[in-house]
Amino acid sequence: MTELHPSTPTAPSRRTTLRAAAGGTLLLGLGLTGCRSAVAEAEAPATGAAGPKRGGTLTVAVNTDFTPALLFAQSGQSLQHRLIYNTLTRYDDRLEPRPELATSWEYAPDGRALTLKLRTGVVFHDGRPFTADDVVFAVKNLQNPVRAAQLRSTAAAVTGFEKRGDHELTLRLAHPVNNLFDLFEFMIITDRNSVEDAVAGKRLNGTGPFRLASWRPGTGLSLTRNEKYWQPDRPHLDGVELRVIPQADALVSSLRTGQSQLSYAVPGRNLSTVTAVPELSVTQYDTGGGASYLGVNTSVDPLGDKTVRQALAWAVDRERVLSQVLGGYGLASATPWPKSSPAFTEAGRTHYRHDPGKARELLRSAGHTRLDLPLLHVNLPGETALAEAVQYDLKQIGVHVTLEPTDAATAQKRLISQTMPALWAMGHSFSQVQPSTLAVSAYPFNAAKNTSRFRSETYSRTVREAWTSRATGAEANALRQRVTDTLLDEAFIIDLVIRGSVQVASKKLHGATLNKFSYLNLDDAYLAA
């Protein structure tokens, strides 16, 4: 399943060789678990005889269009973010930050300030130089409730800015937080003078490797190479086309026929079709894809009783969901954490197994033998299959579910506005970065205000401790474990399967990677002859 793609053009330096060796070791380890890393792929040494080729236009097939109004939130489609913009840092596979527009950083001893040194010689697409003021604006922009950024709580922890020249900035924090680099991975640096044009989709001015040529709603984005990009001799590609193909079968056909060369939107059920195509490679990452879950509205009787919620958690056959609904691409898990997360434990993953007998017993102990509940799901084929599988499993314990197929936009709106019915089946993200980010940012898990309307002093306190602690090692693990234990015990979000990102690409394409928030990085990508 794992394949190496050549990506580095020059003869390997000592540092590159060391990185390659480290990357190779990591790949070996991940390969054993059936997964691989996007960053490792980017840093794998070039093994092709020809090396990178300059030129060509890459067509990326996406299933949803760019939504400019959600530029600073977490939309369903964020591939273009790192193509047009840059972030301050990017994570490697061990969640260690690497330089992007910030070249170095240093925490104050008390953890209440962080000093960033910024890259010089970076200009926006319109030629204006990038300075510390742009970082100040980017943080304040995410603090603005209008932007609906899910990492707003982390941005709001930044309460002061101290500039030293144009390329050094100290961020003052209201309290220590351990997910500041999640914010830097998430936060795109936009031109402060044209941000309103950006959220209207009229003008996207960033420092990224590609400039926006045109956006045709419903059709896609056209991007051309930024000749003033700060990385020398990058990007290799002349341009990128993001083509919207909502129908999964049509999207697969576009890949098979070579009309598009890259996609991260092929559903697991369709992957068996592309694995047989010799011109395409399928690569699974264990991060970035989010997780499928069953949400429970605790304000609907009798779901306020955690015994009933736990009964639901025991009733679902996660392994069957994984194999039948997701084509085997993913990891059946009762917790939200992928294997790469520091919060992942095997005990947590298998905490709830498929045990209808135990589920029925719990339901009876809560005083119920039959329940009739509605379940909302998005009316796409994969989401419908997931809902049908859950419906059948719940029926076996006496919970009769009526499915409510809903369009994706309405489902998202109801998720944010906390107006979900008793049950819903959807996907969540944010578990692939620092564990605290999930509990302070993601709509389903947010301790302050979540879709399940679950309120608990214990959960809020546990989350806050995990978020603000600067502890490392065993102490940090203990804090994360407390969050996991609370999530498992309260079962207001019942995780089913961790979905990795699955990349389907032409074998001619090399060097494409994703960051932790599924921003596509094509700095080093090229199309071989």
Partner 1 sequence: MTSTLPAPAATGEKAARRPRHPYLTALATARGRTGLALVGLVVLAGLLAPLLAGHPPTDQSGLTLAPVGTPGHPLGTDDLGRDLLSRLLYGIRADLGIIAAAVPLGAALGCLLALAAAAHPAADTAVQRLFDLILAFPGLILALAVTAALGPGRLPVVLVIALAEIPVFGRLLRTGILAQRGREYVTAARVGGSSGRRILTRHVLPNAADPLVVQIAVSLTVAVFLEGAMSFLGVGVRPPEPTLGAVLSQSMPHLAQAPHFAAGPLVTVTALVLGLSLVAEALNREIRR
Q: Which residues bind partner 1 (CB under 8 A)?
A: 248-249, 267, 269-270, 272-273, 276, 320, 323-325, 379-381, 384-385, 387-389, 391-392, 402-405, 407
Q: Which of left, alpha, beta for 34 (phi over 0: left; psi -120 to 50: alpha)? A: left
For residue 243, give Cα distances in angstroms to 66, 259, 511, 525. Answer: 10, 10, 20, 18
Nearer to partner 1, 18 or 409 (CB): 409
How far is residue 12 from each of residues 237, 362, 481, measured CA to CA in Å?
22, 60, 42
Q: How far is the CB of 66 from partner 1 (least distance, A)?
A: 23
The least CB distance from residue 493 to partner 1, in Å, is 23
Q: Of 237 and 378, which CB lies nearer to partner 1 in the complex structure?
A: 378
Output 189 or 389, the one with its CB closest to partner 1.
389
Question: Angle CA(398)–CA(400)–CA(403) in degrees, nearest 5?
Answer: 155
Closest approach, Cβ 402 to partner 1, in A, equals 8
Query: If we measure between CA atoms, which residue out of 8, 186, 15, 168 comes closest to residue 90?
Result: 186
Gyration radius from the chain CA atoms = 23
Q: The tokens 């101290």 sit on which residue?
A: 162
The H-or-E segment that residue 362 falls in is helix 356-365
Give the shortest CB-473-to-partner 1 separation in angstroms: 42
Smaller CB distance to partner 1: residue 159 or 272?
A: 272
Instruction: For residue 164, give the 3-state DSSP assignment.
Output: coil
CB of 316 to partner 1, least distance (A): 12
Contact 355, 402 (CB under 8 A): no
Report the nearest approach of partner 1 to the CB of residue 319 (Å): 9
User: Please, what is the minimum distance in Å from the beta carbon of residue 362 to partner 1?
Assistant: 22
Tell me if the bond preceding 267 is cis, omega within 30° of 0: no
CA 201, chain centre distance (Å):
22
Give least dist CB 384 to partner 1, A.
5
Whether the upstream peptide bond of residue 302 has omega within 30° of 0, thus cis, is yes
Q: How far is the CB of 260 from partner 1 (least distance, A)?
A: 18
Residue whose C-alpha is closest to residue 449's, from 440, 436, 438: 440
Nearer to partner 1, 68 or 427 (CB): 427
CB of 453 to partner 1, least distance (A): 23
Nearer to partner 1, 273 or 501 (CB): 273
Nearer to partner 1, 188 or 294 (CB): 294
Distance CA 219, CA 178 (A): 40
Spatial CB neighbours of 356, under 8 Å, sequence gap ≥ 6 = 314, 315, 393, 396, 397
Tell how far CA 288 is from the center of its chain.
Answer: 4
Smaller CB distance to partner 1: residue 371 or 433? 371
What's the CA gap between 443 and 23, in Å, rounded?
Answer: 34
For the purposes of burial, counting CB atoms within 10 Å of the CB of 309, is it exposed (0-12), middle (13-18) or buried (19 or more)? buried
Contact 190, 135 (CB under 8 A): no
By residue count, the chain amounts to: 529
Rounded Cα distance between 216 and 220, Å, is 5
Helix (H) or strand (E) holding 139: helix 132-143
Q: How far is the CB of 489 from partner 1 (least distance, A)?
A: 29
Q: Which is nearer to partner 1, 212 or 248 (CB)?
A: 248
Considering the complex, what minimum distance in angstroms separates the CB of residue 323 from partner 1? 7
273 vs 292, beta carbon nearer partner 1: 273
Q: Which two tokens stand for residue 465?
A: 């401790």
- Residue (239 or 328) nearer to partner 1, CB: 328
- Tell me the one-letter amino acid at 100: E
| Residue 3 or 249 with smaller CB distance to partner 1 | 249
Shortest distance, position 320 Cβ to partner 1, whole Å: 6
494 pairs with which residues across the strands? 294
Q: Which is nearer to partner 1, 270 or 437 (CB)?
A: 270
The number of CA neighbours under 13 Å toward the Cβ of 215 is 17
Which residues on adjacent β-strands are paired with residue 506?
A: 280
Tokens of 3: 């394949």
